[in-house]
Amino acid sequence: MRVVFITPASTLRRSPVYRWGSSLYGTRDAITGPLILAGIVRRAGHEVEVYEELRGTVDYERLYGWADVACLYTMTSNAPRAYDIADRFHAQGHARVLIGGLHASALPEEALAHADQVLVGEGSIRFSTSSRAAAPSPSSNARPCSTSMRFPGRTTRCSRPPATRPTS
């Protein structure tokens, strides 16, 4: 299976002037979620490509025919662009479109209007099964790592519940 991960950027952030100006401030860090998921999918034996529109232009015409699954990462600032890309994949390509990220987790019904499936929560928990499913549910919910907010400096572990302090 051929899987592409795309982190869209807003119109302003894709402009040459913005890219030039932001290059004066050093390197932009990549958003790690799509990179982690790409690693999981690649280790499962699939072909993977990863793109961030902040880093340059993307050859969508090639990707429409190449990708079997298109995965889009959304934040509120790039959600309209992600929805536009998803709609174009549906219109011009044959790929199944999955949308995840912070914005999609907060507003899954909005994202579902543009995607075949929305990943809500931690994508790494559900991604491998949803990318292989023949008839996935429209929205996959992942168990969050922690049910309560913690103070900085304490570690959060998914494997065991937080320790409780004695009350005396």
**Residues, the chain:** 168
| Residue 159 predicted with pLDDT over 60 | no
> Is pLDDT larger for residue 69 or for residue 166?
69
Looking at residue 53, the DSSP 8-state letter turns out to be: G
Structure token pair of residue 32: 């790690």
- Work out the pLDDT band at 56, boundaries 50, 70, 90: confident
Judge contact between 40 and 128, C-beta under 8 A. yes
Provide the mean pLDDT of the chain: 74
CA distance 125 to 139: 13
pLDDT of residue 60: 93
d(CA 22, CA 119) in angstroms, rounded, equals 31
What per-residue confidence (pLDDT) applies to 21? 66
